[in-house]
Chains A and B, each alone.
Chain A
């Protein structure tokens, strides 16, 4: 049977891609951020997951607001990045996993999550930056990725309560898949940040750390927040915490925190890296 062996939270901002492309990892600004990653990379290289289920939000590459899915997922064998408007260099494609993807899609819709199911889906920095952070040099081609895209751009958005439930439903779907596959779930984005308005630059370190703590030991308590609460406490784009919450939902076993590195600011955000084991 397929088994979710762990979960990871990580930032996905485009500035990370630029820093990596320009070899800035050891500079004083970036070092405290990148220094957090080797233990997670080591764990992934040791555990050798077959599949990564990756929660992210599309920032206007694949989806425009002409048709904006609330929840979308890919079922393709391959995914491509593309120019997002600021000339990020073209990077290698991301490998997909269509069989488990379709199993999850079937299971989710039966479970009441009416996904938009995509056979073609351009994936933006929200998905590619985390993969490159875990396997630098874009050496992620060996791992199969299932993208799950949550609307974090246009209100109304799914509430934390719903994204936790989505994660739980994905956890159940994976556990009912017959092949022996090792799966790790990534929740990407966040944490507190606000890019727009006179309140731009808002970061709430205490709230971020509290969220990380709750993601480990009491994820249900995060469902008390509405997206408006997240905006108030963490800034307009803190709604990206929904991806972290969804990730945690998918871990249905006994969860242990193996590693954490919180650092702020990275660009305009609070960055929360965490590795959770699921037994």
Chain B
């Protein structure tokens, strides 16, 4: 496969060069959440912290709304968004539910079903 091949995957936001550029500040902010001081600083004043990392207005709003899909569209990498989720005390099933519009129980039931191979 050529590296520059374009392929679309429904419901999937491939984190490639374009997204890495678009989401640089957003991901850099989320990377900073590895430190407790950064998490405290964010929690004390989320808007100021987003400003510090020069998030775009759309990114700032998506952070405010905890809108994971919007954050992905705006260049967020799930590995860094996971740190934002951690700060919000959300686990991967919570995040899955938020993205798919399911309840957490419905999302977990889908995982069980997929895990059994009932696709």
Binding site for B on A (CB under 8 A): 15, 59-61, 64-66, 82-87, 153-156, 159, 194-206, 226-229, 231-232, 236-237, 263-265, 267-268, 270
| B55 located at the interface, meaning its Cβ lies under 8 Å from any Cβ of chain A in the complex | no
| Given A198-B100, A231-B9, residue A205 in contact with residue B82 (CB < 8 A) | no
Interchain CB contact under 8 A, B33 and A199: no
Give the docked Cα–Cα distance between A59 and B33 (Å): 13
Interchain CB contact under 8 A, B114 and A203: yes
Distance in Å from the Cβ of B60 to the closest Cβ of chain A? 20
Distance in Å from the Cβ of B24 to the closest Cβ of chain A? 7
Q: Tally A-B pairs: CB < 8 A.
A: 143
Give the docked Cα–Cα distance between A167 and B39 (Å): 38
| B59 located at the interface, meaning its Cβ lies under 8 Å from any Cβ of chain A in the complex | no
Q: Interface 1/0s, chain B 81-118, versus A by CB < 8 A?
A: 11100110001110110011000000100111011110
Give the docked Cα–Cα distance between A155 and B79 (Å): 13
Q: Please indicate the chain A residues that have their CB under 8 angstroms from the CB of B12 in the complex.
A: 194, 196-197, 199, 231, 236
Q: Please indicate the chain B residues that have their CB under 8 angstroms from the CB of A232 in the complex.
A: 7, 9
**Residue in A154, A201, A227, A236 whose CB lies within 8 Å of B111:** A201
Q: Which partner residue on chain A sits nearest B114 by CB separation?
A: A203
Q: Please indicate the chain B residues that have their CB under 8 angstroms from the CB of A61 in the complex.
A: 34
Is chain A's interface secondary structure helix, strand, loop, or mixed overall?
Answer: loop
Interchain CB contact under 8 A, B72 and A197: yes
Interchain CB contact under 8 A, A85 and B96: no
Give the docked Cα–Cα distance between A265 and B111 (Å): 6
Q: Please indicate the chain A residues that have their CB under 8 angstroms from the CB of B31 in the complex.
A: 60, 64
Interchain CB contact under 8 A, A85 and B86: yes
Give the docked Cα–Cα distance between A203 and B92 (Å): 14
Binding site for A on B (CB under 8 A): 1, 3, 5, 7, 9-17, 20, 24, 27-28, 30-31, 33-36, 39, 68-69, 72, 77-83, 86-87, 91-93, 95-96, 99-100, 107, 110-112, 114-117, 119
Interchain CB contact under 8 A, A203 and B111: yes
Distance in Å from the Cβ of B95 to the closest Cβ of chain A? 7
Interchain CB contact under 8 A, B92 and A155: no
Interchain CB contact under 8 A, A201 and B114: yes
Give the docked Cα–Cα distance between A64 and B34 (Å): 11
Q: Which partner residue on chain A sits nearest B117 by CB separation?
A: A205
| Given A196-B72, A197-B99, residue A85 in contact with residue B33 (CB < 8 A) | yes
Interchain CB contact under 8 A, A228 and B7: yes
**Residue in A195, A204, A236 whose CB lies within 8 Å of B95:** A195
Give the docked Cα–Cα distance between A270 and B92 (Å): 14
Give the docked Cα–Cα distance between A121 and B22 (Å): 27
Interchain CB contact under 8 A, B99 and A198: yes
Interchain CB contact under 8 A, A86 and B86: yes
| Given A60-B79, A60-B80, residue A201 in contact with residue B100 (CB < 8 A) | yes
**What are 9 pairs between A and B in contact, CB < 8 Å?**
A60-B77, A85-B83, A155-B14, A155-B15, A196-B99, A198-B100, A199-B11, A227-B1, A232-B9
Q: Please indicate the chain A residues that have their CB under 8 angstroms from the CB of B15 in the complex.
A: 153-155
**Residue in A15, A65, A194 whose CB lies within 8 Å of B91:** A15
Give the docked Cα–Cα distance between A46 and B36 (Å): 41
